[in-house]
Every structure is written in C-alpha cells, then in structure tokens.
Structure 1
Amino acid sequence: MSAPVFGTKDYQNARDRQNENRLSRCDEVENIPTVVQEEPEMDEDFHCHVNRTVSENDNSMMERDESPPPPPPPPLDDDIPFTPPCYRSTPQRDIDHGTSILSEHEGPRSNVSVLSSSRTEDSEDDHRKKAKRHLVDRAYYIAKELLMTERTYKKDLEVITVWFRNAVSNEETIPDCLITLFSSLVPIYEFHCDFLKELDQRLSMWEGKTNAHMNGDYQRIGDIMSDSFNTNVLNMYKHYIDHVEDLLTQVQENMKRNKKFDQMYKEFESQKVCYLPLNTFFLKPGQRLLHYRLILERITKHYSMDHQDYADCDACLKNFTDAVSECKDRMKLEENLQKLIELQRDMIGIDTLVDPDRNFIREGCLQKFSRKGYQQRMFFLFSDILLYSSRTASSLLQFKVHGQLPLRGMIVEESDHAKMAVANSFAIYGGNKCILVAASSQEEKDKWIEDLNEAIISSGNRNDSKLKYASLKSSTSSSENVDGETPEINGHVPEKQIHHRSNTTMHVCWHRNTSVSLRDHEKSVRNQMSGYLLRKFKNSNGWQKLWVVFTNFCLFFYKTYQDDFPLASLPLLGYAVNTPDDEDGIHKDHVFKLQFKNHVYFFRAESEYTFERWMEVINSATNSARRIRLFSRLDSQHAS
C-alpha cells in the first residue's frame, strides 16, 4: 500500500484530483451536491435516471463552506443484488463489474448487498417466492457485519500508517512519539490487511461463489478468527493500548513546543482523508477489540451448542473478553484524555483544560440569563468544574470561555423563581456566583440536573488536598460573567490557528441545541457500523446506493468502500429514527427514516438483521427517551 508523499508534486497532483469532487467535511448530506444522480425506482420503465435538485431553501443545520460548490459525483451505475449468488435465478456478471437492474419484483441489485425482496401486490410464481424466502442463515449476516466493519477499520488504520506516515516522512526530524506510534501500529495494520483478505475470501465461499459451499465447511468464521487472533496478536494489541495515553500526551506536547510540527499536523488533519480528529484514530484498535467481542457474542447466542462453528467462536470470545477486561480501565482513561484534548483545541480563553484528574461528563447548550436576557451558551461539565462559553464570530468558529463554577459546594435549585422565569429553567449556585439557565426541553433539563447532582456528590467525596481550577484568560470581569459578552484583547478576540471540524459533538450540540454525555460517548464507542445502504430523499423518486459508515454520532457517505474519503457527513444528534409512516409512501422492506425538522431521509438495509443493527446503532446516537432521574435517589441515599 502506498500513498503520495506529503509535500511532493505527486501529492499536490493527488490533492488537485481530490478537489475536483471535493465536498466540505462539515456539510450535511443535504449538500452532497446541488444535483444528485440517483438510481431509478425498480419498475418496468427503468431506462432513465432521476435527478434530484436540492431546494435553495433546504438549508443545512451546519455551517456551509464558503468555497464554490463542487460538481456532482459521477452517476452510480453499480448493481445492487438482493440475494446471495448461490440463490440467484439469473446469471450474474463478476461482482465488481455488474450493471444490470431488475424489475421492482426482484428489487435493485448491488455488488455488495444481500437484500430481501421488496413488498409487492403483484404475485410471482411459487418457485420464485420460495427462492426469495430461502435466505441464508442469520449467522451469515453477522459474519458479513464483521467483514463490512473490518473494511472500515483497515481504512481507519491507513489514515495513520499510510497517509499520516507519508505526511511526516519529509520532515527533517520526526518526534520520538510518532516513531513509537508507527512502530506499534504498522504491524497491526499489516496483520489486518492479511486478515481482511482471508475474511473476504471466506464470505465469498459462504455465499457460494465457489463450489466450496457444497460441503458447508466454509459457512463459519470461528476457525479463521481463532487461527488469526492468536496470543501474539492479542499481546501486540495490549502493548499498543498500554502506550496510547503516553502517545496522546506526547503528541500534544510536541504541538505546543514545535510550531512546524503543529502546522504539519493541522494541515494533515484538514485533509478529506482525515475525516475525524486525527488523535481519534489512535483509539481505533482498542475499540475494535470491543467490536470483535460484541460480534462474537451475537453469533454464539445465535448458534446452538452443537453447531460446527460454536466451539471456535466461543473459545475466541473468551480470549477477546479477557483482553477487553484487561484493557478496559486504560481504554476509558485514553477516551477521556482524547476528549479533553479535542475540547481544548476548540476552546479559547483556557489553556489548562487537559488534566489527568479531570473527567468529562457532559457538553451541550443551555440558555443563560444575563442583562440582555436569555442567550445561547455552550456548557461543559467536568468532574471538578462547570464551564460556560459562546461561539466566536471568527472563521475558526471556536468557543470562548466566559466563566467557571467549582462543583464542590455547588447547589442546583429548581426554585419557584426559576420556574417563573422561563420554561425548563433552574438555578446553579457555585463559589460566589449564581447563574440562571434554561434547557430546550424538560428532558434536557432532567439530563443536566441528574449529571450535575451526581457530579456534585462525587466531587464532595474526593479527597483532594487542594482544589484545581482552570486558568481562564481575560474572564475575571464580573460584568463579562453576567452579560456574556466576548472579551477583547488589544481590540480583537484571541484565536488559535486550528482547523474547524464542525461535525464534532460540541459544534453539533451548538447547532441542534442539545447535549451529549459521557454515557452517550460510551454507547457510541460500542455502536459502530459499516455497509451499503440505499438512500432516498423525501421528494425524490429513486434510491441511491452509498457505502455508509456510522461512527462518532455521525453518518459518513462514500460511493464505495474503496474510497479514501467521504462525500459528505450527517451528524445525527437531534435526529429521530423510525420506520416510515403510511403517508411517506415507502412500500419496501427494511427501510428506516431519519428526520430532523424538515430534513427527511430514507435508508434501506439489505436484510432484517442489518436493518435491526442499523436501527440499534443509530438509536444509540438519536435516542431521546426520557431517562430516569437518578439524582433524586442519590440525594435520598446521601441524606440518609
């Protein structure tokens, strides 16, 4: 695997080719291009494609890029098969080059998907109906999820081991922390290149693309999992995870000391291939161990104990369970450290946010009362302090911290005065300050009060000999803390030269007027998904096939899984996920609906299992069910 070397003519030419179809990473799917070439509905008249023009009034909730809109991607002419090759009743071309489209009764074809037959009122002959119902075992779809997510994992490893490694290869000196990073991660990447090939070949055999499926020996994954993830490989993972915390810290320190390295790092992070904050990719190996365990749990629950694949899968599950248990605490520390570093980079007015004794708890929007009335503010709750800020008007769109309240001794009060001020309001007393805030809903209010009270109790139980407060710059004025005006230094707002990443949770929370907690982040780590989906806009007549990756509360859209960077992204915080209503007019199986205000999208999965999995992982980012207010029980326990 090779990539253009950063800074060379080849690299610049590669970037120029990318920019021909470049789309801003911060844009939502509404803005993929102005005109999208879609696959037509699969009826008898399927010879012409359907063009969808996005209304100029269909504004994205995220900030748009000021650069001119890119041209639309080329038309999608891939096949979309509904059934595995061994069950197809018509001849097929090679999986990578198929071009035929079937009627609605058979549904669209894809070079990667195994979709069920669509709903239809017209009857088919009994033989074809029986063939459609004769789908492969559920274990196949679980194994296929392993393959789909493995493809994404390999691409994520390439961001560091191929792209970033080449980016720093031209530097005169490479920091020791990066040498350690590459020496630890490259062997893991090379292992997964081989493992992915073997897994891909096994699924091809399972699907019946060779005669090997006749004896059934290849309809299993436990054997290759056990053979591949031996003790040496698991130890390689453990060794890497043991050093991630030091790597994150050392990279951060080098960025502070070395301006040239800092510039190179941020320049690379602005590239489309780096679709998440770069240090997020440091955590992917630990997260992948957890995903292997969860996938093996699902397949062993599905198997009977006398199944030929059960013993291997169960033995492998025990190994991954032990590995995850051994690394669990360290992985939590590393996730927290990465989150603090991410917040620090997008906040100005504070330089001491990253602290080994500080834990992230919740971030989100509240309306704060000031002399100008209620104004939108971004709040950040940690294990020792509560910060509040507003977003700057600069092009970097960072958050300026206005003030902080210590948790020790803090009181949260739902007084009559607070209730009279505005709906869903409450008062927070901390130090020598009192602030009145209002949430966007009763449920948001409950979340904040629950986490605040729980954090206050935990803070009171800590045996800190000395309280550590964050050092705020130019935020000592009492008037500033009251009215929330952004302070100025020498006539301008101070800024850091960092690249804007508007699909990170703090920016999405600001736009969607919602919040995200530590528990939500832990769910997001567990729930990651990849695969092909058919997508349909609310007012379009056709379905478009896209490779979709769900991670970090966001859907990322690609034309195929081989692509190095996404076409666009759709942050899911604030969205609701459901099945289509009757008035939506969607008469297909395995379709789910995403909606935020007037933005509506329909996605069609390949099977009942994949539909359930997509609903599960997306619900982890969009679930708005009321949570039980644990703080009331905690208060009563504390009082007793």
Structure 2
Amino acid sequence: LPEGDGERPLSLASTLSSGSSRDSRSLFGSTAALPSSATPPEQSEDDIDLELSPAEPEPAPDHHRNGDGKARFPASPVVARAMAPDPKLTYLDRVVMEIIETERMYVKDRSIVEDYLAHIIDMSNLPIQPEQVCGLFGNIEDIYEFNSELLQSLDMCESDPVAIARCFVDKREYFDIYTQYCTNYPNSVAALTDCMGSKTLATFFQDRQAALKRSLPLGSYLLKPVQRILKYHLLLQEIAKHFDSDEEGYEVIQEAINTMTGVAWYINDMKRKHEHAVRVQEIQSLLINWKGPDLTTYGELVLEGTFHVLRAKNTRTLFLFERMLLI
C-alpha cells in the first residue's frame, strides 16, 4: 500500500486465502521453490511490438480505503521523459522506459481491482459469500503489494538496464505469488460468471465501473496479472538484444531472462498439473462401482478421448494415465 495509508483491517480475501507476499504456499501445501535459472527457448529474430508511445494517462480514481485518502501514482522522471520523447534516446533506452512505464500502469490497474474488493468488503448487504470473494480475487492483494514494491525498485534504477535486470534477479522468490493467482484464475472466471448471474451483483459491478470511469470491466483487470507475468522475460530479452554482450552487466541481464523464463515455465507447469488433478477427481466421481485404487495412484492424466470401437454399437471414452489405460 502507498505510504501514509492507515493500517487496513484484514480483508475477507486475505483471511481465507493461503497465500502471502512473503511466505507464499502453493496449492499443494508446501513452499514452492522457483527455478533460479532455465534454458530460455530459442528467441525469435523479430523484436516484440513495444508500445513506445504512451497513451494519455487517465485521471486516477478514488480508491476507497476505509476512510483513508486517495491512492496516488505520481509520475516518475522516466514517465515524464516518455511523455516527451528525446530523439537522442536509443532503442535500449526506450525498452527500459517501456518496462517501467508499463509496470506503473499495471500497478494502477491492480489498485482498481483493490477498489472493487474494498467496496465488496464494506458493503455487507451484497449477496456474495466469503468463498466467492476468495475465488474471484484470489491473492490479488499480495500481487498489488509486491508489484508496488517492484515498481519502487525499478524507479530507483535511473533507467540503468543492468540495475533493472538485477531487480528481477533479486526478487525472484517473490514471483511465486503468481503461481497461486494463475492456478486460481479459472476459478476467478467461474466466480465472476456466477456473480453476474445475480442482478444485484451485476448492477454493483456496473456501478463501480462507471464510478471509476473505466471502459474495461472487472474481468479484464483480473486477467492482466496472467498476461503480465508472462511478458517480463520478453521485455528483458529486448534489453539483451540491444545490449553489448561484451559490456559489464550482460551476464546479469541473461540471468534475469533465465529467471523470468523459469518463472513462466513453472507457472504453466503448475497450472497444467492442477488442471489435470481436478480432471482426475472429476473422472473418479463419475465411476460407478469402481473397486480399484484411487486414480491418482496411476500418475498424471496424459490423454483422453472418445473413440469408435470396431464392431461395437457405442463409442468408448478412453483415459490414458501414465501407468494405466482406463476404458
């Protein structure tokens, strides 16, 4: 939270969520250690499309914080320079500016989600249960806190690409909070769909969107953490492409790329395993008079599909596990 805000009472989401920004636990009950390095995939020769011309900033919304003042996001010198670009800036300078500026806008977007959450907590008459709040927002408060700190660190780098890269290396362990958020994201979508089925809640979300003067609905803001965590390594790759490999600090940039690529791979792998585990439980619940062991003992679900069997009238559904074929 920005400095100067009073101590905020523990919210429903943070009370019922198992994650925290400093002692994150995975959905499997143990601390997940992110890989410190990984071999990055072969890079494309084409640069990614950087949004180097920043859009006109929107006025900051009022963020309800139980009587506290507005959350403000003062423009840094980096953003000020981006708004009036210097023709002498190199492409590398612009990549660094892009990382910082988009991080600032991303943190601002997280504060918008915090506004929705704060109003839901304050309005006790809304027809929404605590477990729905947890499913909808996940550990978004942890992400807001962490990325606010990351933004402060990036601002202190004074546009030094090596210092920018070192920020990601130094904070690698804290990105684990994104594993929990991304794994929960399908639940978030389902919870929002359920909420929009309630006329009262649908009206509440529409009213908050209008009050915040935002064209995007809540669902778009809930997706952004999933998109952002998978973009960091691409931005860092742009730094490496335009940084002299013989210059001091290049190895730090490569370490940052490996770190954030490892984070992206780890998140995708954990999300896939979680989805498969949920699917196995669904299959187990559909089996009638099953006398065998729990399906989880046969390893991960590899493939499933419906097939026509020769000389059989009906189709058969096959589930291929690591150690069993279930028909």
Per-residue CA deviations over 1:529-551 (Å, capped at 9, x if unaligned) read: xxxxxxxxxxxxxxxxxxxxxxx
How far 1:136 sits from its partner (Å)? Answer: 5.1
Distance change >3 Å, CA 97–CA 270, structure 1 → 2: closer
Aligned counterpart, 1:251: 192
- 2:238 maps to amino acid: R
The DSSP-based 3-state class of the residue aligned with 2:234 is helix
Aligned counterpart, 1:463: 306
How far 1:138 sits from its partner (Å)? Answer: 3.6
Distance change >3 Å, CA 223–CA 96, structure 1 → 2: closer
Structure 1: gaps spanning 5 or more residues:
3-72, 74-94, 99-109, 118-134, 207-217, 333-461, 468-640
Q: Is this contact kept in 1: 2:169–2:256, CA < 8 A?
A: yes
The answer to whether 1:295 aligns with 2:235 is yes
- After TM superposition, the structure 1 = structure 2 runs for residues 538-577 of structure 1, keeping only pairs within 5 Å, are none
Which of 214, 219, 237 does residue 279 from structure 1 map onto? 219
- 2:230 maps to amino acid: L
Distance change >3 Å, CA 226–CA 273, structure 1 → 2: farther
The answer to whether 1:226 aligns with 2:166 is no
The answer to whether 1:240 aligns with 2:210 is no
Q: Provide the C-alpha distance between the structure 1 equivalents of 2:121 and 2:110, rounded to a whole number of angstroms.
A: 17
Q: Provide the C-alpha distance between the structure 2 equivalents of 1:97 and 1:236, rounded to a whole number of angstroms.
A: 26
The DSSP-based 3-state class of the residue aligned with 1:306 is coil
- After TM superposition, the structure 1 = structure 2 runs for residues 184-583 of structure 1, keeping only pairs within 5 Å, are 184-203=139-158, 206=160, 220-228=163-171, 230-231=172-173, 233-256=174-197, 258-328=198-268, 463=306
Which of 99, 102, 121 does residue 169 from structure 1 map onto? 121
Q: Is this contact kept in 2: 1:304–1:310, CA < 8 A?
A: yes
Per-residue CA deviations over 1:422-468 (Å, capped at 9, x if unaligned) read: xxxxxxxxxxxxxxxxxxxxxxxxxxxxxxxxxxxxxxxx738999x
Q: Provide the C-alpha distance between the structure 2 equivalents of 1:296 and 1:328, rounded to a whole number of angstroms.
A: 19
Structure 2: gaps spanning 5 or more residues:
6-57, 59-73, 273-304, 309-313, 316-327
Distance change >3 Å, CA 140–CA 167, structure 1 → 2: same
How well do the aligned residues superpose, as a CA RMSD in angstroms?
3.6
Q: Provide the C-alpha distance between the structure 2 equivalents of 1:190 and 1:184, rounded to a whole number of angstroms.
A: 10
Q: Provide the C-alpha distance between the structure 1 equivalents of 2:111 and 2:189, rounded to a whole number of angstroms.
A: 18
Q: Provide the C-alpha distance between the structure 2 equivalents of 1:147 and 1:271, rounded to a whole number of angstroms.
A: 28
Distance change >3 Å, CA 157–CA 315, structure 1 → 2: same
Q: Is this contact kept in 2: 1:146–1:295, CA < 8 A?
A: yes
How far 1:246 sits from its partner (Å)? Answer: 0.9
- 1:463 maps to amino acid: T
Q: Is this contact kept in 2: 1:223–1:309, CA < 8 A?
A: no
Per-residue CA deviations over 1:321-377 (Å, capped at 9, x if unaligned) read: 122234448889xxxxxxxxxxxxxxxxxxxxxxxxxxxxxxxxxxxxxxxxxxxxx
Per-residue CA deviations over 1:122-144 (Å, capped at 9, x if unaligned) read: xxxxxxxxxxxxx4554322111
Aligned counterpart, 1:115: 85
- 2:157 maps to amino acid: R
Distance change >3 Å, CA 250–CA 181, structure 1 → 2: closer
Q: Provide the C-alpha distance between the structure 2 equivalents of 1:226 and 1:136, rounded to a whole number of angstroms.
A: 26
Per-residue CA deviations over 1:283-330 (Å, capped at 9, x if unaligned) read: 111111122111011111222333323222211211221222344488
Q: Provide the C-alpha distance between the structure 2 equivalents of 1:148 and 1:180, rounded to a whole number of angstroms.
A: 30
How far 1:201 sits from its partner (Å)? Answer: 2.2
The DSSP-based 3-state class of the residue aligned with 1:243 is helix
Q: Provide the C-alpha distance between the structure 2 equivalents of 1:254 and 1:317, rounded to a whole number of angstroms.
A: 39
The answer to whether 1:151 aligns with 2:123 is no
Per-residue CA deviations over 1:260-284 (Å, capped at 9, x if unaligned) read: 2232123223444433121111111
Per-residue CA deviations over 1:225-250 (Å, capped at 9, x if unaligned) read: 2112x22x221111110001012102
Q: Is this contact kept in 1: 2:136–2:187, CA < 8 A?
A: no
Q: Provide the C-alpha distance between the structure 1 equivalents of 2:76 and 2:165, rounded to a whole number of angstroms.
A: 31
The DSSP-based 3-state class of the residue aligned with 2:168 is helix
- After TM superposition, the structure 1 = structure 2 runs for residues 58-137 of structure 1, keeping only pairs within 5 Å, are 112-113=82-83, 115-117=85-87, 135=88, 137=90
The answer to whether 1:142 aligns with 2:95 is yes
Distance change >3 Å, CA 141–CA 273, structure 1 → 2: same
TM-score (norm 1): 0.29
The DSSP-based 3-state class of the residue aligned with 1:463 is strand
The DSSP-based 3-state class of the residue aligned with 1:194 is helix
Distance change >3 Å, CA 151–CA 97, structure 1 → 2: closer
Larger Rg: 1
The DSSP-based 3-state class of the residue aligned with 1:266 is helix
User: Structure with the greater relative contact order (CA < 8 A, sep ≥ 6): 1 or 2?
Assistant: 2
Q: Provide the C-alpha distance between the structure 2 equivalents of 1:96 and 1:277, rounded to a whole number of angstroms.
A: 25
Identity of aligned residues (%): 21
Q: Provide the C-alpha distance between the structure 2 equivalents of 1:273 and 1:237, rounded to a whole number of angstroms.
A: 28
Q: Which has the higher strand share?
A: 1
Distance change >3 Å, CA 114–CA 330, structure 1 → 2: farther
Aligned counterpart, 1:26: none
Q: Provide the C-alpha distance between the structure 2 equivalents of 1:142 and 1:97, rounded to a whole number of angstroms.
A: 16
Per-residue CA deviations over 1:543-576 (Å, capped at 9, x if unaligned) read: xxxxxxxxxxxxxxxxxxxxxxxxxxxxxxxxxx
The DSSP-based 3-state class of the residue aligned with 1:303 is coil
- 1:153 maps to amino acid: Y
The DSSP-based 3-state class of the residue aligned with 2:122 is coil
The DSSP-based 3-state class of the residue aligned with 1:195 is helix
How far 1:184 sits from its partner (Å)? Answer: 0.3
Distance change >3 Å, CA 167–CA 97, structure 1 → 2: closer
Q: Provide the C-alpha distance between the structure 2 equivalents of 1:139 and 1:220, rounded to a whole number of angstroms.
A: 13
Distance change >3 Å, CA 245–CA 113, structure 1 → 2: same
- 1:170 maps to amino acid: D
- 2:220 maps to amino acid: T
Q: Which has the higher helix share?
A: 2
Per-residue CA deviations over 1:143-190 (Å, capped at 9, x if unaligned) read: 1110111111111111111x2123213322543232355460111111
